[in-house]
Amino acid sequence: MTLRAALRALRRNKLRSGLTTLGIVIGVAAVIAMVSIGRGANYAVQKQIESLGTNLLMVMPGATTSSGARSGWGGVSTLTVQDAQRIAEESSAIDGVTWFKRAVAQAVYGERNWSTSVQGVSPDYMTVRGWSMAQGEFFGQRDEDTANRVTVLGRTVADELFGPGEDPIGATIRLKDVPFRVIGVLQRKGQTMWGQDQDDVALIPFSTAERRVLGTEFLGAVDMIFATARSAAEISVAEEQITTLLRQRHRIQPGQDDDFTVRDLGEMAQASQTASRVMTSLLLAVASISLLVGGIGIMNILLVSVTERTREIGVRMAVGAKGRHILLQFLVEAIALSLLGGLLGAALGIGSARLVSALAGWPTLVSPGAVFGAVLFSAAVGVFFGFYPARKAASLDPIAALRYE
């Protein structure tokens, strides 16, 4: 009955009620949209970490931590196949090692051609990167030993060179004018954190790359080594082991800078995740302020309403309403207002999260917890900001209230 009375009172002033809830609507919508976008971003980053391979360490030639002017990675190749093999043999915290060298080259099939990254990789590449085949199979140790001219294409390259319905397996394409037989197509992997298309590759055996396609500065030079730690907990140990081993092998004196760089991808991902979390928290704080302002709006309107309805309150008291009846009525009005705003805001928030997904292409993930929490919080705002006006109404003197003009 109190609820009915409250809803009736709100309906009496539709425009005012609507405008009052607007603050809450916007606040809740903003909170939900922000949380959805933030969670979506986090989820996307997590997906990207997974797509790179779990517990992955990248070892690149050249120092990035140098004090003086020094070229970064990709300058002079100082890493070798032997480095990689020794890492695999000697580092207890490391599970798998793979290496590659690469160059941008033209891939040609019939009339079509596509500029892609041709990468010579060791046979373990797939396991270490946690990648799998969509079609066909990967090359093995024998192809490596004999420097076979076989290639496995990334999805993008396969799509660019072969029309729909054409089977790439068994076809012969030319990479840097060298004919290769396509023996497999990779599963799609998507973009890296830095926006590189990981599917835009043509993988060939490392020895083939070195001897027949890309050439080399010296035998065994690699562009990058990937190593996986046995577990997430052992990543830092693995990193240390690699550094120690490589410094020793490269005869780097104590105090001298490394001529290589070890990067923990998880760390990078975590950094970007932290950044997005900080951003989300900031936006959330702003959105919460809107909720607060909305609450004050409700309090303000209720105070006006109490004054306006002083006579009504007097009448209600005269016919037997106790203080708590009046208190409850105004409190319920406040909660109804804010809850209504909360529900509308939740709908609007989910809607705008979807809209952002659709228009800006940002991934969003609506969190049921956040929706529930925001709606609940809006009800709490109603209780908090409704209490003062409600108490003011309940403590009116009936005689004065009845006489109020």
Shortest distance (Å) from residue 396 CB to another protein? 11
Q: What is the dihedral of CA 282, 288, 294, 295, to 10 degrees?
A: -150
| Mask for 136-165, x = binds another protein (CB under 8 A) | ------------------------------
Shortest distance (Å) from residue 270 CB to another protein? 59
Cβ neighbours of residue 22 closer than 8 Å, sequence gap 6 or more? 294, 297, 341
CB 116 within 8 A of CB 104: yes
List C-alpha distances in Å: 202 to 79, 96, 328: 22, 22, 71
Nearer to another protein, 384 or 404 (CB): 404
Number of residues that bind another protein (CB under 8 A): 20
Nearer to another protein, 211 or 392 (CB): 392
**Contacts of another protein in 296-325 (CB under 8 A):** 311-312, 314-323, 325
Nearer to another protein, 47 or 322 (CB): 322
CB 181 within 8 A of CB 150: yes
Nearer to another protein, 3 or 282 (CB): 3
List C-alpha distances in Å: 366 to 347, 351, 400: 11, 10, 51
Coil, strand or helix at 267:
helix
Shortest distance (Å) from residue 392 CB to another protein? 15
**Contacts of another protein in 3-22 (CB under 8 A):** 5, 8, 12
End-to-end CA distance of the chain: 27
What are the start-end ranges of the H helices in 224-309?
A: 235-249, 265-308
Nearer to another protein, 88 or 394 (CB): 394
Q: Alpha-carbon distance 211 to 314, whole Å?
A: 98
Shortest distance (Å) from residue 309 CB to another protein? 9
Shortest distance (Å) from residue 318 CB to another protein? 5
Q: Does 398 bind another protein (CB under 8 A)?
A: yes
Nearer to another protein, 28 or 317 (CB): 317
Smallest CA-to-CA distance from 76 within 98, 65, 60, 58 is with: 60
Shortest distance (Å) from residue 10 CB to another protein? 12
Positions touching another protein (CB under 8 A) are 1, 5, 8, 12, 311-312, 314-323, 325, 398-399, 402
